[in-house]
Structure 1
């Protein structure tokens, strides 16, 4: 009830307009409008209705004197100038309705620790999907890092698993519609806005495109035949399997190829090493057909054994190639649950 009341009091349109980069989308659901299956066309977020919210809080004898802390991570963040301005605006809005809200800025290490332990009363955070699918917008918050919200939401997890189990777009959208409605009913958190990272390219560079994660460096051309890239950080390593840093991936994706990849300029999945693929009826078994005559940089031919060896290096903890910078293989563990032959 309290979270729903706060959702009704906050004007997301103003918050996005004042704090998000140009072109951002006001969130009416967890999933952005351009992700299908996923976003529900006939479901809107709560309207701003202060009187209804105050009346509802009065019905449950809400204690306005209790201190509510609003935590956020200090410093500039990708997409937003800072969380501080957004937090201050939310604080002032709630104070104007009688709430006792105090800001709690945390340094990065303390913020991450608090999120891991689920100790914060209220907090501002950013969820970045790890792949372009509606389920990815829920997985991080309710499966992989659910502890940040303290309590679990079994109804949401159950509906999320239904979206993951279906291969039909129509049936998946039906499941997403139920999931999005359940999220609105329970209000585990208040979605404010969606934004995409921006890439800037000098006018002398041709053919530049970007998707949700990367730029197409390999296709960019100019008269100098040289591309200079300014990124936030240098790569942490050149072996992407045990990394979670997108700046690292921007470089390593030029060194390694995938079976499939995300298109530039759209959300479509397109062929890479595989030119076609198919699954069984419940999407638990997939078959990829490799392109003909693919060669490594040393001239050796690629075949299915090389693909298997690559997966073994990731999946089999007993493999001598199962090594990395941290040894955690965090993304793989989150996506697939764990490893085989793990001690």
Structure 2
């Protein structure tokens, strides 16, 4: 039986949890609803220099929340659907942020409850028998991880896994021909890029000429042809062209070694220089074989005198360093869309709070700010063209590929699907008899308080446990109501009134109401809020998507 695959330590944890009444999430005291507005002292000052985003959030009754914004946001509902913004019980937030357990023992309202995290091996979830919606098909869901695609496929063929993420490109054809497997492509709603930081003193990439030289030196078509599966393409822009306005403006540079060498000489590096190429050993649809792609880029850059040392960094440390803007040299990273709008790709990488590539660039951030405020297609097209042209002119990174990929399942798994957003729903998977579903992904989560996480490994687990006001349809990118039944916008898109689902309970037994929504967003929004705590405390996704923080002097700084 597949449930025998749960490790010995995990089995002990399960027995202890069962003896204590099931889920390892602590029980809750019932808290009577009381209306609440945040900030309590009055709306945020939308005219303050550098401030944008939320103005005020109010729970007017137990099933109604009102969001007031400083500026229109045409993607507001899509942003509310992100796994980073799942709603937490107010009482749980208070206790779990105080003792730090929020990072490892999530609470939620979703179809699975957290059961155990056996560090280094697996995470075990159990069916939420009190779920307000369709119950999970399997009674137990297990997340495991293997960095190597070959190891994941071996486990699937051996029957110790039911589904795996990211088949190696070289294994897709044979797996499709194997009657014991089912292979499902994942659309290329992603981007792989080579990042540089223009703000590290003394680093050659401070100079625009050097950054542009690297852009001109790389043969991106060679990389795609050599390392990517069918369905992949060279990126003409950072955002995939399937997203509206994503490819407005000029296409990226073509390879030109002569011009690249001239720029290196103009920058004072006619004889080249030494640097590093950093990556994390985590397969992604946008970067299926990180080590090999890094080695190929290393080889290509020798043509313009750049001698690069390839350097693997542990995944969570790598992401933290990228976010804090401390990665010197070149780094390989990418992005899978959270929702199909240009704001998700561009604001998350070039917005005013992002320092991954160095100091934000005004020509980019101003265009993005304007594009996010208007619903007029022609205006958005012009502003995104302006932003894309500024990205090309300043070369903070080099867009390389939109990568096709595939997931695989045992042939007997029902409900098998892939998600273009990388958030497959394990509640839909079942084998028609066995009550345990085992999914092997690329790496271990950094943490399970996903308001303060950015990696896909964390987000996929969190999405099985917690729910936001909205989510995304199974195997698609369209939004669907979850804890909200509807949100109505005012004509000027500045006020959103959301009606909440009634009768919902958190896994710890607490009743869900509108003040939980206010407290959840307040804890992310306000750096002085006592519940503004997580694994890093930086809450990057909030800054990427919903706006500036209140009391920014109290915000944690990425290190």
Which of 257, 263, 267 pairs up with 2:473?
Answer: 263
Task: Could you tell me which runs of 5 or more consecutive residues in structure 1 were left unpaired when the two chains were aligned.
Answer: none
Deviations along 1:30-58, one digit per CA (max 9) or x if unpaired, are 10122224333x7432233444545x538
- 1:101-250 correspondence to structure 2 within 5 Å: 101-108=307-314, 109=317, 113=321, 116-118=324-326, 120-128=328-336, 131-143=339-351, 146-195=354-403, 198-211=406-419, 212-224=421-433, 226-232=435-441, 239-250=449-460
Q: CA deviation at 1:337?
A: 2.8
- Residues 1:180 and 1:202: Cα distance change in structure 2 (over 3 Å): same
User: 2:418·2:475 contact (CA, 8 Å) conserved in 1?
Assistant: yes
Q: What is the aligned partner in structure 1 of residue 517 from structure 2?
A: 307
**Structure 1's 317 and 46: CA in aligned 2 closer, same or farther, altered over 3 A?**
closer
Residues 85 and 234 (structure 1 numbering): CA distance in 2 closer, same or farther, change over 3 Å? closer
Task: Mark the CA change 1:334 to 1:57 in structure 2 (over 3 Å): closer, same or farther.
Answer: closer
Q: Deviations over 1:161-207 (max 9, x none)?
A: 11222233443233112211222233222111123664322221222
Whole-Å separation in 2 of the counterparts to 1:249 and 1:119: 23
Aligned to 2:301: 94
Once residues 123 and 240 of structure 1 are traced to their aligned partners in structure 2, the CA distance between those partners, rounded to angstroms, is 24
Q: Which residue of 2 aligns with 1:46?
A: 253
Structure 2 residues not aligned, in runs of 5+: 1-208, 555-559
Native 8 Å contact 2:264 2:270 kept in 1: no
Deviations 1:260-289 (A, max 9, x none): 112333322222233333334554432223
Structure 1 residues 45 and 39 mapped into 2: Cα distance closer, same or farther (>3 Å)?
Answer: same
Q: 1:68 to 1:127 in 2, by over 3 A?
A: farther
- What is the rounded CA distance, in whole Å, between the counterparts of 1:286 and 1:214 in structure 2? 26
Give the RMSD, CA atoms, in angstroms: 3.6
Distance between the aligned counterparts of 2:231 and 2:485, measured in 1?
34
Instruction: Report the structure, 1 or 2, having the larger strand content.
Output: 2
Distance 1:266 1:334 in 2: 22
Question: Structure 2: how far apart are the matches of 1:44 and 1:136?
Answer: 20
Deviates more, 1:144-153 or 1:189-198: 144-153
Following the alignment from structure 2 to structure 1, what is the Cα–Cα distance between the partners of residues 470 and 552? 27
Question: CA offset at residue 316 of structure 1?
Answer: 5.2
Change (3 A) 1:3 1:297: closer
CA distance in 2, matches of 1:52, 1:333: 38
Q: Which secondary structure does the structure 2 equivalent of 1:126 belong to?
A: strand
SS at match of 1:183: helix
How far apart, CA to CA, are the structure 2 residues paired with 1:132 and 1:69? 35
Question: CA 1:281–1:178 in structure 2 vs 1: closer, same or farther (change >3 Å)?
Answer: farther
Distance 1:267 1:244 in 2: 18
CA change 1:9–1:131 in 2 (3 A) is same
Q: Does residue 32 of structure 1 match 2:225?
A: no
Residues 284-314 of structure 1 show CA distances to partners (whole Å, capped at 9, x for unaligned) of 43222335x4532689875434433443454
TM-score normalised over the length of structure 1: 0.80
TM-score (norm 2): 0.52
* Structure 1 residue 28: Cα displacement: 0.7
Match of 1:73 in 2: 279
With over 3 angstroms needed to count, the CA separation of the structure-2 counterparts of 1:294 and 1:257, relative to structure 1, is: farther
Preserved CA contact (<8 Å) 1:199 1:215: no
Alpha-carbon offset, residue 65 of structure 1 = 0.7
| Cα distance, 1:52–1:320 mapped onto 2, change above 3 Å | closer
Whole-angstrom distance in 2 between the partners of 1:128 and 1:286: 27
**More relative contact order in 1 or in 2 (CA 8 Å, sep 6+)?**
2
Residue 213 to residue 66, structure 1, CA distance change in 2 (3 Å): same
Q: 1:116-159: CA deviations, max 9, x gaps? A: 34462433333455554312222333236743333442111111
